[in-house]
Amino acid sequence: MFALTTKSPNKSLVEYLKHPLIQSFAFNGKAYTINGKIKSGLIKRLREVYYPLYKHKMKKHKKTKLQRKGSSIRIGKTIDKEIFNLIKNPTKSKPKNDHTKALLSYWESIGHNLQAAQVPVFIKKLNCCTQADVITQDSENRLYVWEVKVCFFLFTYKK
């Protein structure tokens, strides 16, 4: 489910991942579960709680000479998979995607090292589950949670 670095993992992160609630976290292919009970995902809960008067609408983009390789969802999954594999098997895994390489280069430039990927997160206030895409650590052992996005959705006001 998640990948944790084998190169001196952060002690606080290791303790967090040992928590019984986090240990019971699962994904059944359609929904996140805790102790076998389905919990709604973060985006659904955010829409219900923070955007009840808005509806999702895809924005039409003008054609440009710039082309991206594949859909945003596929690119996002590729980035997630490459970072996950890099943390699990750092000697065997070499990222190929330019977005992944750019992220790794950025984290290196600010002195961060990869700690974990796809880490389970339970948000008590919203009663929902999600996963943190990437967790890094700086030189002072502070942890940073990163959500990697390759596109965004446009919301418009319901009339």
Helix pair 98-109, 72-88: axis angle to 10 deg? 50
Tell me the pairing of strands 143-146 and 113-123.
unpaired
Q: Please tell me the predicted confidence (pLDDT) of residue 158.
A: 52
* 122 three-class SS: strand
More confident residue, 47 or 83: 83
**How far is it, in rounded angstroms, from Cα 42 to Cα 54?**
16
Q: What is the pTM (predicted TM-score) of this model?
A: 0.76
Beta strand 113-123 pairing with 25-27: unpaired
Q: Under the phi-then-psi rule, with left for phi > 0, alpha for psi from -120 to 50, and beta for the rest, what region is 44?
A: alpha
pLDDT digits (tens, 9 = 90+) for 3-55: 999 988 999 999 999 999 899 988 877 778 888 887 767 777 777 777 767 66
- What the block records as the tokens of 46 is 């955010």
- The neighbour count for residue 3, using CB atoms within 10 Å, is 19
**pLDDT by residue (tens digit) across 87-129?**
999 888 899 999 899 999 999 999 999 999 999 988 888 888 8
What are the CA-CA distances from residue 7 to residues 28, 30, 40, 90, 137 (Å)?
Answer: 30, 33, 34, 10, 12
